[in-house]
Amino acid sequence: MFSAAPTVYHPYLNGVYTVSAGLYRLGVQPIEGRLEHHTFAFDRTYPHYMAAKAAARTRALHESYTLAGLHPGLRERALDFIAHAAAHDSGGILTWDGQTLGNDALGWAGTLDLRRGALENLRRFPAPYARLVSEVMPTDALDFLAMNVQEDLSILAVDAQTGTDFLAAIHVLLPERWNPLDKIGRDFAAVHAPVAGSGPMIATAPKLVKAALEHGPFVRFVWGVTPSGKLDHHPNLPPEPGLSDDPAQFFLRAERQTLHGFAAQHGALFTIRTYLYPLCELLDTPARSAALAAGLRTMTPAQLEYKGLSRSRAALLDWLDRRARVGA
Ligand code: HEM
C-alpha cells in the first residue's frame, strides 16, 4: 500500500511570515527545488488521516461537510476532476473508469452519478484498511470522494450574473481552528476576515478569484507552530488535554493547498493537505532553527494571537535560538 514517506516542506525557510497569495504555478514553478504535478498526496500516513477523517465525521459530519448553491454543472466538473486526479495521483491503488472509483486500500468501490452528484452504489471488499471505513456511510459523490483522499476539499463558485464569489461546498474534516459552517456561502473577503493582517490580501480578492478560475492550477503553503499533533482542530472540539509547554514537543503544521480552476463552470476546486512535523526532527540544521525563529519574529502581536502563539512565543524563540547557535 502507500509506502512513500510524507513529503517534508519547509515553508518558513525564507524567515518571514506573510499573509499573502504566495501562488506557485503547479507543474511550472518548482517548490523547494522540486517540480510538483500532483493534486493529491498519498503516503504511508494514509491510514492515520483516514482514521482522523472517519472520527471527525462520526462526531458531526454536518459541521464539516456543508453546501451552498453548488451549481450542478460545477459539481459535475469538480467531481470528475477529483476522481480522475485521485486515481492518477494514487499510483494505481485508486482506480476511476468514469463511473466507479475503486480503492484497494480502503476496500470499497463507489459508482457515481456525476450529473446528479449521487453515490449510486457502494460495494465493499476485503482490503488492508477496510476497517477504517467500515462504519462510514458516504452521503453522496463528493462525500465519498473526500473519504478516499488525505486532503480536505472546498469548491469556490462565482455567480455568473453578479460576479460575486462564494464558497459553494466545504468538505473539511481536519480544519485548523476554523469552522466550515462559518465560511460556507461566504465570499473571499468574509472567509479571510479573521486572519490577522489579511487586509492587503483581501483588497486584491477579485484578482485572486479571477486567477483561481482562469489561470492555474496553483499550489500554495500555509504554516504555523502548534503543541498539538492532532489533525482535526475543529473549534467545537473540547480542549485537548495534556498539551506540553515544552517547545521540543511542538510541531510545525504546514498546509499544502492547490487550486484548480473550472472557468467554463465558474468555479474552482481548493484542496488542503495538512502536514505535521515534530520540530525536533524537522529542524535538523542550525539554519532551519534560525529561519523559523526569524519567521516567528516577523509575526505581529495580532498574528501571534491568531496563530495561538502569544503565550508560547518566548519559550519557543529561546529554544529555537539555542538550537540555531549550537546546532541540532
Ligand atoms: C487564491 C486563493 C486563496 C488565498 C491566496 C488564500 C490565502 C490565505 C491566507 C494567506 C490565509 C492565512 C493563513 C495563515 O497564515 O494562517 C488563509 C486562511 C484561510 N483560508 Fe484562504 N486563501 C485562498 C483560498 C481559500 C479558499 C478557497 C478557502 C476555502 C475554504 C480558504 C479558506 C481559508 C480559511 C478558512 C482560512 C483560515 C481563516 C480563519 O482562521 O478563520 N482560502 N488563506
Mean pLDDT of 11-20: 97
Note whether residue 1 is domain-resident: no
Ligand 1 centre to CA of 193 (Å) is 10
Note whether residue 269 is domain-resident: yes
Note whether residue 133 is domain-resident: yes
Minimum CA distance residue for ligand 1 atom 31: 191
Q: Please determine, for residue 198, whether its predicted confidence score (pLDDT) is greater than 90.
A: yes
232 — phi, psi (to 5°)?
A: -95, 115
Give the Å distances, CA to CA, from 202 to 86, 99, 195, 207, 275. Answer: 31, 39, 10, 10, 26
Check residue 305 and give its pLDDT: 98
Distance CA 164, CA 159 (A): 5
For residue 238, which amino acid is it? P
Mean pLDDT of 266-293: 98
Note whether residue 184 is domain-resident: yes
Task: Give residue ranges with CB within 6 A of ligand 1.
Answer: 19, 21, 154, 156, 167, 170, 178, 183, 191-192, 194-195, 201, 208, 212, 222, 224, 259, 270
Contacts with 55 (C-beta within 8 Å, 6 or more apart), sequence order? 232
Minimum CA distance residue for ligand 1 atom 43: 192
Distance CA 217, CA 104 (A): 28
Check residue 227 and give its pLDDT: 98
Distance CA 107, CA 129 (A): 7
> What does 69-113 look like in DSSP terms, one character per residue?
S--HHHHHHHHHHHHHHHHHHTTTSEEE-SSEEEETTTTEEEEEE
pLDDT in tens, 212-248: 999 999 999 999 999 999 999 999 999 999 999 999 9
Minimum CA distance residue for ligand 1 atom 26: 270
Minimum CA distance residue for ligand 1 atom 4: 21
* Residue the block writes with cell 522540486: 34
Domain containing residue 87: 24-230+248-282
Note whether residue 236 is domain-resident: no
Structural domains of the chain, count: 1
Note whether residue 324 is domain-resident: no
Mean pLDDT of 274-290: 98
Note whether residue 42 is domain-resident: yes
Mean pLDDT of 255-284: 98
Percent of the residues in the chain that have a pLDDT greater than 90, as a whole number: 99
Pocket test for ligand 1, best of 16, 195, 223, 258 (most atoms within 8 A of CB): 195
Check residue 147 and give its pLDDT: 98
Check residue 327 and give its pLDDT: 56
Ligand 1 centre to CA of 130 (Å) is 33
Which pTM does this prediction carry? 0.97
Ligand 1 centre to CA of 137 (Å) is 29
218 — phi, psi (to 5°)?
A: -120, 160
Of 253, 1, 42, 238, nearest to 148 by C-alpha is: 42
Question: DSSP E strands: which ranges in the chain?
Answer: 24-25, 65-67, 94-96, 100-103, 108-113, 118-124, 152-158, 165-171, 218-226, 251-262, 267-278
Distance CA 34, CA 30 (A): 5
